[in-house]
Every structure is written in structure tokens, then in C-alpha cells.
């Protein structure tokens, strides 16, 4: 055998060994990709009278009489119980819009990075448990919270998780809380206190859009280290004062960026869903205005 042929054989053998080693060290990556491809993504909402803003969402409260917030718990639970355990489920209130084009793909990608077995709830900048929080509520629910700036408090208008995890959480709520005088945010906050659910502090999946006003800057969103300080007065950055509803809050300013997504100085990231908190025609009018701005941007890009 010539030297050149021997060299070729040696090189081929080394490459063969390398491929075996690479395959040996990547089972987690391969398994994760397989699970991701096999995971179904379902978006649910609850509306008994208002128009559903998300065409991708299944209305679990359709044809149900509205008997209070307990209605959306029952509607979601009955639907999710029929799903495969590892289906990825996102529930949003009817006053929520999407902030990206292909929402299901974005949800799947973000959830794979999040990689948790717990249900993740939306957050807001105020403490509300069916009423404005008092000192007792703060110490009961958020005493051990390590987050003291920005969106720190649970909002029940959006949550995401696997079907089995959400089903277990909703079942616990149904078993433990009386339907009379029921408040979904109070019950979900109680699950947070017990460590059963987690919060989307960084607004990756959801963000609340309370009293937001247009932001006219043209540059893309910048994220300085003091991001939240611009939205809080010094007296309310830490401690019990922050937990009291309305303390030191300056409404975040927003705009639609070049990718046709809403961005704000108050958010760490671009959330996938935007929740327009608060009932009434003003909240819905604001929601329609932002939705129209996103759609107008998209139509220009497609033209």
C-alpha cells in the first residue's frame, strides 16, 4: 500500500472516531429537538361576549354563561384535560393581542429556552389580589420576592406551561377555592406563594400595557442597566411602598419597531403577548389602536 493511501485510511478512521464521540456527547440536544418538534402548541382564551382578538386562539368559554372569573378557570380546565400531557398551552384573556407574526413558533422557541416544569404567569407593576394589596397581602404573598423593580406582581391575564402542569394547578384552584366571591388573581397568587407557579419577570412571554403612551423615538430599543429606575420614583424602588397600588408608577412609553413589534423602555425584552389590563371601552380602544399600528406596519413591509 502506498503512503498516500495509508494516510487517507488513517484520516478516514480518525473522522469516523470523531463522529462517534460527537454522537455520544449530544443525546440531550438531540432529545430536546425531538421533543420540541413533537410538542403541540395551543393558545386558549375566554370570552363570553367580547370579540376574541387572537385568531389563533381557541375560545374555551364560548356559549358559556359568565358567572365571574371562575368561568374562565372551568373553561380552561375542561379543555386542557383533553390534551396530551406535554402539549404547550398558553392561556390569555380576551383583551390580549400578539406582538409577533408567527406566535406559535415564537412560543415554542421561547419555552424551550425557559425549560421549566412549572406554569409561568404574566406580571404587572401593581400588587392586586382582587383588590389593592394592603400590608398584610404584601407580607403574605411577596415577602420573599427577590425582585423589586418593574413588573414584580402576578397577573392572571396570561400563563403558559405544559398541559399536565396547568391542569394540576387549575385543579388545585377548583378544589380549594369557593366559586362564590372567587378571584382568579388571588387564587393564582396563592399558588405563587406556595412555589407551585412562577412569574415572567422579564416579560418574555407576556407584558401588561397599563396606561401606556406612544414613544416617538426612532432608534431601536436600548436597554441600559438602570432600565427600571426611569419608571420608578426613588421612594418606591424598594420596600413595602412599592407593593401599594399606584406607588411611583410612571406609564411606560411604547412604539412599533422596524420588525413590527411593540417595544417599551419598561420591558427587558419584546414580549410575545401584550395584555391591556382593565375593563371598559377605553382599554379596548387602546388595544385596537396598538393592534392596528402593528398590522399597518406589517402591511407596509409586505407591500
pLDDT tens, residue by residue, 130-143: 888 888 888 899 87
pLDDT over 90 (residue 160): yes
pLDDT over 50 (residue 290): yes
Question: What does the angle CA 195 – CA 175 – CA 168 come to, to the nearest 5 degrees?
Answer: 50
CB of 244 closer than 8 Å to CB of 132: yes
pLDDT over 70 (residue 244): no
pLDDT, average across residues 166-194? 95
pLDDT, residue 67, reads: 87
Q: Distance between CA 220 and CA 255 in Å, rounded?
A: 10
pLDDT over 70 (residue 279): no
Q: For residue 198, give the nearest of 77, 130, 116 by alpha carbon.
A: 116
Instruction: Choose from 19-33, 152-166, 215-229 the range with maximum mean pLDDT.
Output: 152-166
pLDDT, residue 76, reads: 96
Using the structure block, give the residue that is written with the C-alpha cell 371601552: 281
The percent of residues above 70 in pLDDT, for the chain, comes to 66
pLDDT over 80 (residue 151): no
Q: For residue 202, give the nearest of 119, 285, 144, 123 by alpha carbon.
A: 123
pLDDT over 50 (residue 8): no
Question: At 65, phi and psi to the nearest 5?
Answer: -75, 140
pLDDT, average across residues 25-41? 41
Strands 153-162 and 41-46: unpaired
The DSSP letter of residue 211 is T
Q: Which three cell numbers stand for residue 27?
A: 443525546
Sorted by where each starts, the structural domains of the chain and their CATH numbers stand as: 33-302 (3.90.550.10)
Q: For residue 108, give the nearest of 274, 257, 272 by alpha carbon.
A: 272
Give strand pairing partners of 43: 57, 90
pLDDT over 60 (residue 229): no
Axis-axis angle for helices 27-38, 103-114 (nearest 10): 150
pLDDT over 50 (residue 199): yes
Q: For residue 227, give the nearest of 186, 169, 266 by alpha carbon.
A: 266
Q: Which three cell numbers stand for residue 17?
A: 472516531
pLDDT over 80 (residue 171): yes
pLDDT, residue 185, reads: 95
pLDDT, residue 112, reads: 93
pLDDT, residue 158, reads: 96
pLDDT, average across residues 256-260? 83
pLDDT over 50 (residue 36): no
Q: Distance between CA 123 and CA 192 in Å, rounded?
A: 12
Q: Distance between CA 87 and CA 207 in Å, rounded?
A: 23
CB of 215 closer than 8 Å to CB of 265: yes
CB of 20 closer than 8 Å to CB of 33: no
pLDDT over 80 (residue 189): yes
Q: Which three cell numbers stand for residue 280?
A: 371598559
pLDDT, residue 252, reads: 59
pTM for this entry: 0.74
Q: Which three cell numbers stand for residue 163?
A: 398541559
Q: Distance between CA 136 and CA 225 in Å, rounded?
A: 32
Q: Distance between CA 163 and CA 20 in Å, rounded?
A: 36
Task: Identify the weakest region by mean pLDDT among 24-28, 49-53, 250-254.
Answer: 24-28
For the chain, the residue count is 303
pLDDT range class, residue 48, cuts 50, 70, 90: confident
Tell me what the pLDDT averaged over the chain comes to. 74
pLDDT over 60 (residue 66): yes
pLDDT, residue 302, reads: 65
pLDDT range class, residue 147, cuts 50, 70, 90: low
Over residues 204-226, the pLDDT tens digits come to 999 887 655 544 333 223 333 23
pLDDT, residue 134, reads: 82
Range 114-119, long-range pairs (CB < 8 A, 24+ positions)? 114/204, 116/161, 116/198, 117/162, 117/165, 118/161, 118/165, 118/196, 118/197, 118/198, 119/159, 119/160, 119/161, 119/165, 119/166, 119/169, 119/196, 119/197, 119/198
pLDDT, residue 227, reads: 31
Helix then strand then coil, in percent of the chain rounded to 5, is: 40, 20, 40
The DSSP letter of residue 101 is S
Q: Is the dihedral of CA 149, 153, 156, 162 positive or negative?
A: positive
Amino acid at each position: 500500500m502506498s503512503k498516500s493511501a495509508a494516510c487517507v485510511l488513517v484520516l478516514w478512521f480518525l473522522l469516523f472516531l470523531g463522529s462517534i464521540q460527537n454522537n455520544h456527547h449530544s443525546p440531550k440536544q438531540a432529545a430536546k429537538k425531538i421533543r420540541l418538534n413533537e410538542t403541540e402548541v395551543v393558545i386558549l382564551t375566554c370570552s363570553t361576549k367580547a370579540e376574541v382578538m387572537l385568531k389563533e386562539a381557541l375560545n374555551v368559554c364560548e356559549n358559556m354563561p359568565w358567572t365571574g372569573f371562575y368561568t374562565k378557570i372551568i373553561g380552561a380546565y375542561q379543555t386542557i384535560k383533553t390534551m396530551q400531557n406535554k402539549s404547550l398551552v398558553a392561556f390569555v384573556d380576551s383583551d390580549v393581542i400578539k406582538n409577533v407574526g408567527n406566535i406559535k413558533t415564537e412560543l415554542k422557541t421561547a419555552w424551550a429556552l425557559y425549560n421549566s416544569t412549572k406554569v409561568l404567569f404574566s406580571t404587572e407593576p401593581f400588587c392586586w389580589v382582587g383588590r389593592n394589596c394592603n400590608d398584610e397581602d404584601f407580607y403574605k404573598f411577596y415577602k420573599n420576592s427577590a425582585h423589586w423593580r418593574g413588573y414584580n406582581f402576578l397577573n392572571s391575564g396570561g400563563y403558559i406551561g405544559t398541559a399536565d402542569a396547568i391542569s394540576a394547578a387549575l385543579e388545585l384552584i377548583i378544589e380549594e377555592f369557593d366559586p362564590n366571591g372567587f378571584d382568579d388573581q388571588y387564587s393564582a397568587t396563592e399558588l405563587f406563594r406556595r412555589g407551585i407557579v412562577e412569574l415572567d419577570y422579564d416579560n418574555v412571554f407576556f407584558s401588561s400595557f397599563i396606561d401606556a403612551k406612544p414613544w416617538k423615538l426612532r432608534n431601536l430599543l436600548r436597554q441600559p442597566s438602570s432600565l427600571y429606575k426611569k419608571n420608578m420614583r426613588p421612594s418606591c424602588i424598594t420596600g413595602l411602598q412599592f407593593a401599594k397600588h399606584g406607588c411611583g408608577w410612571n406609564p411606560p412609553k411604547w412604539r412599533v419597531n422596524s420588525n413590527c413589534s411593540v417595544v417599551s423602555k419598561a420591558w427587558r425584552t419584546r414580549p410575545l403577548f401584550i395584555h391591556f389590563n382593565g375593563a371598559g371601552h377605553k382599554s379596548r380602544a387602546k388595544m385596537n389602536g396598538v393592534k392596528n399600528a402593528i398590522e399597518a406596519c406589517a402591511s407596509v413591509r409586505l407591500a
